[in-house]
Amino acid sequence: MAISFAGAFAGHDKALEFRSARAAILANNIANADTPNYKARDISFDAALGEEMKRLQLQGTNDRHFAHGAESEASGDLLYRNPEQPSLDGNTVDMQREQAEYAQNSMQFDTSFMFLDRKISGMRKALTGN
C-alpha cells in the first residue's frame, strides 16, 4: 500500500507555505513603514483555503446527493489593508498591528511546523520499527 505524502501531511505542508508567504508580506509592510504612499498588503487564510477548496472534487454516488454549491468568491491574491488611522504621507502601515500580525503568524507557523515534524517522526518510527 503506497503512502501519499499529501494525505500523510494532512495539509500542514500547505499551511507552512502560506505562513511563509504571509511572513514575507508582513515583513515587507514593516520594512516600508516610513515609505510615503506605501499601501500595506496582506493575504487572507480564508481566501487561500477557498482556492484550495475549489480544487477539490466532490463525488456524488447517488442522484439524490446535493451538488457542491458552497464555493468561495475570495481569491488568494494580495489585498490592501484598510488603515485604522491614516497618516498624512499616505502610508497605511500601522506598526503595532503589523508586529502583532507578524507575531501571530510566527506562532501559527511554529505550530504547523511542530505538527508536520511529528507526522514525519511518526512515519520514520513506523518505517524503522521503533
Please state the rounded mean pLDDT for residues 15-21: 91
Q: 3-class DSSP state for residue 125? A: helix
Instruction: Provide the percentage of residues in the chain whose pLDDT is more than 90.
Output: 41
Q: Of 28, 52, 51, whose CA–CA distance to 40 is shortest?
A: 28
Report the alpha-carbon angle 76-46-84, nearest 5. 90
Q: Per DSSP, what are the bridge partners of residue 41?
A: 80
Asked if the model's pLDDT at residue 47 lies above 80, the reply is no
For residue 42, the model assigns a pLDDT of: 93
R_g of the chain, CA atoms, integer Å: 20
80 DSSP 8-state letter: E
Q: CA 11: distance to chain centroid?
A: 11
Residue 44 has pLDDT above 90, yes or no: no
pTM of the model: 0.72
Report which secondary-structure segment, H or E, holds 16: helix 12-31
Average pLDDT, the chain: 82
| Secondary structure percentages of the chain, helix, strand, coil, to 5 | 55, 5, 45
3-state secondary structure of 128: helix
Q: pLDDT, tens digit, for every residue of 78-124?
A: 888 888 887 889 999 999 999 999 999 999 999 999 999 998 898 88
**Tally of CB atoms within 10 A around 102:** 17
